[in-house]
Amino acid sequence: MTTKCPSCFNELLSDATWFRCTGQCAEEKDDRATVYRGHDIVARPVFAIRHAPAAVVEHGGCPACSTVSRRHVCGLCHADLPPGWRSTTTTCVALAGARYSGKSVFIGVLVRQLRALLAQSNSVLTALSAETEQLYTARYEQALFTERQIPVATPPQRRGDAQYAHAASLVYVLTPPGHPRHVLVIRDVAGEDLQKPEIDEYLFSFFAHADGVVFMVDPMQVRTISQQLAGRLDWQGAHTDDPLKVLANLARLRARIPGARPVPLALTLAKFDALHALEDVEGSPLQPAMRNHGASYLRDPSMDSWHYDEADGDLLDVELQSLITSINGANLLNYARNAFPIVRCFAVSALGHHPDATRLGRSGITPFRCLDPVKWIMSRPAA
């Protein structure tokens, strides 16, 4: 069993449990929490209770005021841990990509898809806390499924600004068929946070300790693709947001963080419906590929089973490597292979169609292969 902090993604120590005093100790600036959250945190002190490995310690007496505390915190970043968290198996997923790559839409649809897939197996997906439920509803669900609009961009994290400094994780409890209770943690960041080479190594240290990174690439950011689809699809992004530069910045961030884990990368072609449209573009070099209806990237078995289909994934990976190379993405693919120990390619379309500016089309939301990257990460053994 692997249990990580849902904020910094570091694995919790097995021989110590950390608490925050809830008694008479005076509040003071928590330097560790401050550097990880990006703004001043003033709270009562934290303390550790040492114990035998794997022992469950639910409470501890503050060494200063002797008050018994049940408020568990992460020993590294001092973030609060939910009740019973240390006995939880976790999978922590971080999302990355340039601006306009569709991360927010992907998350909004992903949660709905997970809930629907588990329901098919008489299981359920539940938010661990009211904070997760409120965050998902306000940022993703309300826009997509009620207002039928594209969610607003994820706000950037700005050190010194309490409103933006710390982005909360989405934390969900699920019991997949044939598996024990599991917790899935998802963290998103604003694309502009990853645009500059010197990314804050504390605010974004979770990228070095995640169980997997889903790196999303909008194929419309490839100029040759947007030119072929000119007049057919109205794209609102910016060609200056190079996904290769963002990936390089992410790799440099990981290199600066001591103890960075060998995190697998799900290199994900987002908004794949845009490439589907090339089937009807005469003269496009990708027209034959998009007319090959036997290709894995043109079918979606992701809702057939909870289990990740390795054979289908292997075939999809090979096909997409070829496709990425053919759209001038060889440098991106090669860089990913050199910077990350394990890379697998995916194709997703959260909406299933290209929206009209910020409004969804009349056909509604018809997701394509959105579960694949997360199912792959969850299927992998803990590093």
> In which band, very low, low, confident or very high, does the pLDDT at 20 lie, cut at 50, 70 and 90?
very high
Query: Where does CATH 3.40.50.300 sit in the chain?
Result: 90-379
**CA 331/CA 270 separation, integer angstroms:** 18
**CA 246/CA 242 separation, integer angstroms:** 7
| Region of 271 on the Ramachandran plot (φ > 0 left; ψ -120 to 50 alpha; else beta) | left
Picking from 167, 97, 86, the residue whose alpha carbon sits closest to that of residue 132 is: 167
Give the pLDDT score at 33: 95
**Structure letter (DSSP) for residue 87:** G
Could you confirm whether domain 90-379 is CATH 3.40.50.300?
Answer: yes
Residue 124 dihedral angles phi and psi, to the nearest 5°: -150, 150
Higher pLDDT, 39 or 221: 39
User: Does residue 163 surpass a pLDDT of 80?
Assistant: no
User: Does residue 382 surpass a pLDDT of 80?
Assistant: no
- Between vectors from CA 247 to CA 211 and to CA 209, what angle results, nearest 5°? 25
**pLDDT mean over 305-325:** 94
Picking from 303, 206, 246, 276, the residue whose alpha carbon sits closest to that of residue 99 is: 246
User: Does residue 357 surpass a pLDDT of 60?
Assistant: no
**pLDDT mean over 126-144:** 92
Least confident stretch, 101-105, 221-225, 325-329, 364-368:
221-225
Least confident stretch, 46-55, 182-191, 240-249:
240-249
Task: Report how far apart the first and last C-alpha atoms of the chain are (Å, whole number).
Answer: 11
pTM for this model (two decimals): 0.93
Q: Which segments of 67-124 are extended strands (E)?
A: 68-69, 72-73, 90-97
**CA 124/CA 174 separation, integer angstroms:** 6
**pLDDT mean over 60-82:** 96
Give the pLDDT score at 237: 55
**Structure letter (DSSP) for residue 191:** G
Residues 254/264, Cβ–Cβ less than 8 Å: no
> Strands 46-50, 16-20: parallel, antiparallel or unpaired by DSSP?
antiparallel
Task: State whether residue 135 is helix, strand or coil.
Answer: helix
And the tokens for 257?
Answer: 């963080």
